[in-house]
Amino acid sequence: MKRLSMTLAGGLAMFVLAGLALLAWQWLRPETMGQAVAITDPAAQVARGAYLARAGNCMGCHTARGSTPYAGGRAMPTPFGTLYTSNLTPDRHSGIGTWNADDFWRALHHGRGKDGRFLYPAFPFTNYTRVSRSDADALFAYLQSLPPAARANTPHQLRFPYNQRWLLGFWRALYFAPGQYQPQPQQGAQWNRGAYLVQGLGHCSGCHSTRNGFGAAGKPDDLSGGLIPGLDWMAPSLQADGPHGLRQWSSDELGTLLANGVSQRAAVMGPMAEVVGQSLQYLTPQDIAAMTTYLRSLPALATPATDRVSSPPQQAEQVMRTGERLYRQLCVDCHNARGQGIAPDYPPLDGNPALAALPVNAIRIVLHGGYPPSTAGNPYPFGMPPFGHQLSDEEVAAVVSYVRNSWSNRGGMVGAAEVNRLRGVPLE
């Protein structure tokens, strides 16, 4: 027994030492600074940085509602608590006014602050590490050109042990390795530009991949879809196989959706409406085309099978009858009897990829309405009115079940309890 106790104690000591060594390595590992490029035209660098800030939608996250742009304070709900974005203006006390270009590069490329502390991965440094040093310097130059805003950073509100920042050393050892985007020589310049934007500044995998129990998103080239933690929105797979996957979309259809928020195939709503409204609509046609080229080239992945009927047959039949009646009362004028819609103002429901995934988006849109962004290409978007005040939980479940299981759609049935859970959750 004594020998067993000594063996267990020795094993525990080795485990602790290994953990300490891992943390020490995360703190002390060498950090590459990249090759800074001499700037001959500072104004051009700032203008380039402003464009890159749009591409990354930096203002979207680093601006609280009704507050100064880039002054931080926006709440970012997560399963571990609430994080608050930081002040990116050049204020010397609460912003990044004392930072230099190397400090900013360290944050983007290595996920560490000016003082060396680990940054929480709600800041998508796992994607931003792919950004080039010259683009990082341009982005920093733009942020330094902004008016300083003396807005103190709001402390994060995380539960124990997630509020112990040093534990991020273990997270980083498992899920993060710094490294810039490496162009693929077998692909053309347009494809590589699209991959650089999607995997890097666009940080698309931050929403369009499934996060694990530790909050780690998929790799930057994983766009297989996932539930956005803390927001109860489903970011659909961009790699879905079958007749409604992106491979079946034309380049014009996808490019129009990214730039305008609506197309002949679909309309964006929820968090993606913000991305299009504040970011993608401002990109050049060349960059939109590059992203489209890359996204349409992604390997197709089979969509997980969903039972068409998850209720007893008689009950499901009654739900479908109720759903059809409500659809003909409330929806048919805009979406048509066969779900074809009237594109681009009223998106089709037949074959809509958003209906093949989890039903949260459809439920929330029926409850609270749906609103594409106002863009230069679609300045007066048509929205869907909310029906939550008019329909019971059972009725919302019935009409969502109907559209998810009609025409060519093959989704699962929806229960009233799921509707009730989302009834009080706002659109953002």
Average pLDDT over every residue of 129-146? 97
Average pLDDT over every residue of 99-117? 96
pLDDT at 315: 83
Buried (b) or exposed (e) across 265-277, using 16+ Cβ within 10 A?
bbbbbbebbbbbb
CA nearest 241: which of 305, 288, 187?
Answer: 305
Averaged confidence pLDDT in the chain: 88
DSSP state of 357: S
CA nearest 85: which of 48, 131, 123, 116?
Answer: 123
How many other C-beta atoms are found inside a 10 Å radius of the C-beta of residue 80? Answer: 20
Count of alpha carbons within 13 Å of 357, Cβ hemisphere only? 26
Find the DSSP H helices in 176-218.
189-199
The dihedral formed by the CA atoms of 325, 327, 332 and 333, expressed in degrees to the nearest 10: 100
Cβ–Cβ < 8 Å for 129, 179? yes
User: Quick check: 291 pLDDT over 80?
Assistant: yes
pLDDT in tens, 359-397: 999 999 999 998 899 999 999 999 899 999 999 999 999
d(CA 211, CA 218) in angstroms, rounded, equals 6
d(CA 392, CA 416) in angstroms, rounded, equals 9
d(CA 104, CA 128) in angstroms, rounded, equals 11
Collect all residues with Cβ–Cβ distance below 8 Å to 340 and sequence separation of at least 6. Answer: 348, 350
Which of 142-156, 327-341, 342-356, 366-380 has the lowest average pLDDT? 342-356
pLDDT in tens, 234-285: 998 999 887 777 888 899 999 999 999 999 888 999 999 999 999 999 999 9
Buried (b) or exposed (e) across 310-337, using 16+ Cβ within 10 A?
ebeeeebeebbebbbebbeebbeeebee
How far does CA 260 lie from the centroid of its chain? 18
pLDDT at 428: 56
Cis check: omega of the bond before 229, within 30 degrees of 0: no
Collect all residues with Cβ–Cβ distance below 8 Å to 297 and sequence separation of at least 6. Answer: 191
pLDDT at 7: 55
Task: Kindly state the tokens that stand for 17.
Answer: 């030492």
pLDDT at 343: 84
Which secondary-structure segment (H or E) carries 21?
helix 2-28
> Max Cα separation, the chain?
80
Can you give the pTM of this predicted structure?
0.89
Find the DSSP H helices in 304-415.
313-330, 332-335, 360-368, 393-404
Average pLDDT over every residue of 298-326? 76
All domains of the chain in start order, with CATH: 39-175 (no CATH), 189-296 (1.10.760), 313-423 (1.10.760.10)
CA nearest 279: which of 201, 227, 207, 206?
Answer: 201
The more confident residue out of 139 and 20 is 139
d(CA 43, CA 49) in angstroms, rounded, equals 10
Confidence of residue 40 (pLDDT cuts 50, 70, 90): confident
SS3 97: coil
